[in-house]
């Protein structure tokens, strides 16, 4: 697989998100040995970029990833995230956020143990803490870098001013925000700012929480506990309208002899050479299909045609539930 650069980190052009490997959409618990097999087969097929977070589980996904990559740790790049208020002993998720410098340092020590490693290649602040200046966060991460425990850092779902302040305090390697054909918000300001500052971009949910794979239809109803049940873009009154996007992707999938998911991922990679999607899956077959997107190419005219068609489709409904959306685009306080 071809590689791309996030800061000084060289990674596969498609990564693997492991968020659901401890509990899929809050409804089922995957079989752990199978998750280890998915991770290892991904590596065997060229994936060198794996994305986790202490909040996934909490803590359990980092343990799964650490065990999965142990045989080839030095040949891959691990990304994980801090920022939620999680008890480091019990893994209990407490209310609110916590990016106090002393907490960050405790969190990283726990990450290193769970991931069975001596360094975190890419450490993100998962969400901006409205009570902690980003300069203080950068200072804590810089100390961890000097100790060799962290190599690069990034932010997720931050406000634009916070992005600029963070980069000025300690250069960022990557921003991780939701971005897909289904949610194109970052195109307005975040991606142009990343281009200006030389920061890589890692789309989370690049397949629109499976919407862009083509298996969701107008009759789909999500199980109790599945967070997609609370997203209004998938509500019964919006879903049939939004399926126009899926129909467009299916047309292009047939045209390019590819799967719908591969079209959605290839479109992201065609946007910028420093965009690295991290589709998450608990299925080996889906993982192999996703990384096959690296072989899908668009000509300049094809990409222009596809972009025009996507722009002509209005997506109805919010991208996230209000309680989750409240944590996005937050600006850190001034020092």
Tokens of 307: 């972009």
Interatomic CA distance for residues 42 and 256, integer angstroms = 24
Q: Which domains does the chain have, with CATH numbers?
A: 3-207+271-296 (3.20.20.100)
pLDDT of the residue at 172: 98
Interatomic CA distance for residues 259 and 249, integer angstroms = 9
pLDDT of the residue at 160: 98
pLDDT of the residue at 287: 98
In tens, the pLDDT along 147-189 reads 999 999 999 999 999 999 999 999 999 999 999 999 999 999 9
pLDDT of the residue at 257: 98
In total, the chain counts a number of residues equal to 335
In tens, the pLDDT along 286-335 reads 999 999 999 999 999 999 999 999 999 999 998 887 878 889 999 999 99
3-class SS string, the chain: CCEEEECCEEEECCCEECHHHCCECCCECCCHHHHHHHHHHHHHCCCCEEECCCCCCCCHHHHHHHHHHHHHHHHCEEEEEECEEECCCCCCEEEEECCCHHHHHHHHHHHHHHHCCCCEEEEEECCCCCCCCHHHHHHHHHHHHHCCCEEEEEEECECHHHHHHHHHHCCCCEEEEECCCCCCHHHCCHHHHHHHHCCEEEEECCCCCCHHHCCCCCCCCCCCCCHHHHCHHHCCCCHHHHHHHHHHHHHHHHHCCCCHHHHHHHHHHHHCCCECCCCECCCHHHHHHHHHHHHCCCCHHHHHHHHHHHHCCCCCCCCCCHHHHCCCCECCCCC
Distances (CA, A) of 254 to 184, 251, 262: 23, 5, 11
Catalytic residue chosen out of the listed positions 25, 31, 56, 327: 56
pLDDT of the residue at 194: 98
pLDDT of the residue at 227: 78
pLDDT of the residue at 113: 98
pLDDT of the residue at 25: 73
Cα angle at 177 between 175 and 179, to 5 degrees?
125
56 counts as catalytic: yes
* Positions in the chain whose pLDDT score sits under 70: none
């Amino acid at each position: 697989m071809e590689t791309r650069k996030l800061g000084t980190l060289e990674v596969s052009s498609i990564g693997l998100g492991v968020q659901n490997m401890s509990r899929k959409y809050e409804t089922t618990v995957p079989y752990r040995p199978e998750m280890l097999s998915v991770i290892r087969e991904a590596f065997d097929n060229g994936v060198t970029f794996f994305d986790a977070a202490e909040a996934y589980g909490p803590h359990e996904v980092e343990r799964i990833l650490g065990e999965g990559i142990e045989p080839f740790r030095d040949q891959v790049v691990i990304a994980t995230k801090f920022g939620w208020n999680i008890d480091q002993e019990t893994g209990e998720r407490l209310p609110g956020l916590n990016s106090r410098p002393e907490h960050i340092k405790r969190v990283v020590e726990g990450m290193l143990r769970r991931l069975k490693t001596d360094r975190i290649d890419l450490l993100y602040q998962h969400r901006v803490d409205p009570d902690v200046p980003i300069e203080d966060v950068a200072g804590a991460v810089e100390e961890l870098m000097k100790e060799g425990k962290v190599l690069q850092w990034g932010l997720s779902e931050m406000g634009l001013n916070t992005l600029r302040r963070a980069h000025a305090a300690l250069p960022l390697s990557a921003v991780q925000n939701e971005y897909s054909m289904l949610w194109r918000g970052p195109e307005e300001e975040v991606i142009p700012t990343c281009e200006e500052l030389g920061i890589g971009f890692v789309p989370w949910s690049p397949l629109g929480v499976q919407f862009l794979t083509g298996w969701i239809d107008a009759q789909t109803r999500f199980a109790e506990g599945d967070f997609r049940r609370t997203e209004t873009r998938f509500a019964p009154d919006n879903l049939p309208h939004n399926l126009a996007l899926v129909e467009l992707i299916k047309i292009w999938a047939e045209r390019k002899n590819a799967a719908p998911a591969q079209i959605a991922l290839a479109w992201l990679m065609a946007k910028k050479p420093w965009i690295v999607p991290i589709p998450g899956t608990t299925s080996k077959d889906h993982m192999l299909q996703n990384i096959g997107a690296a072989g899908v190419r668009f000509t300049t005219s094809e990409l222009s045609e596809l972009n025009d068609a996507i722009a002509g489709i209005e997506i109805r409904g919010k991208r996230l539930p209000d309680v989750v959306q409240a944590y996005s685009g937050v600006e850190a306080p001034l020092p």
